[in-house]
Chain A
Amino acid sequence: DAKTTQPPSMDCAEGRAANLPCNHSTISGNEYVYWYRQIHSQGPQYIIHGLKNNETNEMASLIITEDRKSSTLILPHATLRDTAVYYCIVREGTGGTSYGKLTFGQGTILTVHP
């Protein structure tokens, strides 16, 4: 699975958009970009994933560059409850030899302040 690079920490004001970047320059054609987050003391929570098109759901939007070497997770109106560690993970889709394993890096600590 491709390696990802994320900033170790970011701040965001409550009510503003939080834009979390992720670099994955070695991504291959069949690998998806996944975002998870982990709120303190809880299990990781799935947010969104995409292959090459931008995606949006009730939690966030995912913008993937045309060359697929980087992506941005957007929380449109951050709240205090969005304070968490955000993980960008790149892995292949269903099948393959990696049995669905997720490799979590260090992630980005997002702090939303009043």
Chain B
Amino acid sequence: DAGITQSPRHKVTETGTPVTLRCHQTENHRYMYWYRQDPGHGLRLIHYSYGVKDTDKGEVSDGYSVSRSKTEDFLLTLESATSSQTSVYFCAIRGTEGPTQYFGPGTRLLVL
């Protein structure tokens, strides 16, 4: 599991409420990523981070924001959740030695 945890693992929320998902790593890796996975779309990159306070957008970033105030934590926030954000969210980490990424166990989010 490469020292990655995600919390919560499951969440049900209502449309319009804010939601924050947490990714925590114990590997001190520089790069961290948030993906979402939906049927028929595979995994799509939402945001990524290349260091503390250094983040950038991926291909499906609308409606999401991220923060990384320390190396080990990467937070994904849905400011006002919508039903289209119902998905499984995966965090991944990568060291500087190569492009291999290691994924967390995922968070299942249901927005009603």
Contacts and interface: CB of A to CB of B under 8 A. Distances in A.
B contact residues, range: 20 to 34
Interface in A89-114: 91-94, 99-102, 104-107
Contacts of A49: 100
8 pairs of A and B residues whose beta carbons are closest in the complex: A43-B103, A104-B43, A104-B42, A44-B103, A100-B99, A43-B90, A100-B94, A43-B106
Contact of A101 (B45, B96, B102): B45
Interface of A: 32, 34, 41-46, 49, 91-94, 99-102, 104-107
Chain B CB count within 10 A is highest, among A46, A49, A100, A104, for A100
A94 B103 contact: no
B55 to A, nearest CB: 11
Contacts of B56: 99
B36 to A, nearest CB: 11
13 contacts: A34-B100, A42-B106, A49-B100, A93-B98, A93-B99, A99-B50, A99-B56, A100-B48, A100-B99, A100-B101, A101-B48, A102-B45, A107-B42
Contacts of A104: 42-43
B101 A94 contact: no
Contacts of B97: 94
B103 A45 contact: yes
A52 B101 CA distance: 20
B58 interface: yes
Given A43-B90, A49-B100, A94-B98, A100 B31 contact: yes
A77 B92 CA distance: 29
Given A99-B48, A106-B42, A43 B99 contact: no
A99 B49 CA distance: 9
